[in-house]
Amino acid sequence: MSAIKNPAEGTPTIRVEIYNQTYNIRSDGDSEYVINLAEFVDRRMREISSGTLTVDSLKVAILAALHIADELHRLKRLHEQADQQLATRSAECAEMLDRVLKTQSADRETSATGISIS
């Protein structure tokens, strides 16, 4: 896998191989990142093909895409849950801080005036 810059177009072309097929991908992004993505897809397709009887590369690609999509959606759900937990915990901390500050403020007012209400 390699990156080649086409001077006429200005956009680098990245040559990758996925499941024994070569693809030329144009991207302004990080070529190393694109190569890593292609390697990931290739590995996933090979994992799928080794566990199934199908030799049709399109079916293998669809199954790999479904597995990758499933992983993405599971991670998104986990991320959303973590965000919700963080928001809840943050709100609890803010409430506790407000209570502490109000108590300290009330204590200062009492000690400054010397008057206490019981």
What digits encode the pLDDT tens for the residues 31-87? 999 999 999 999 999 999 998 887 899 999 999 999 999 999 999 999 999 999 999
Return the DSSP state at 15: E
45 touches 60 (CB < 8 A): yes
Is 60 exceeded by the pLDDT of residue 6?
no
Phi–psi pair at 97, nearest 5 degrees:
-65, -45
Token couple for 65: 């895409």
Token couple for 26: 């144009």
> What residue ranges do the domains of the chain occupy?
2-109
Is 80 exceeded by the pLDDT of residue 114?
no
Return the DSSP state at 106: H
Q: Angle 31-50/57-113 helices, nearest 10 degrees?
A: 120
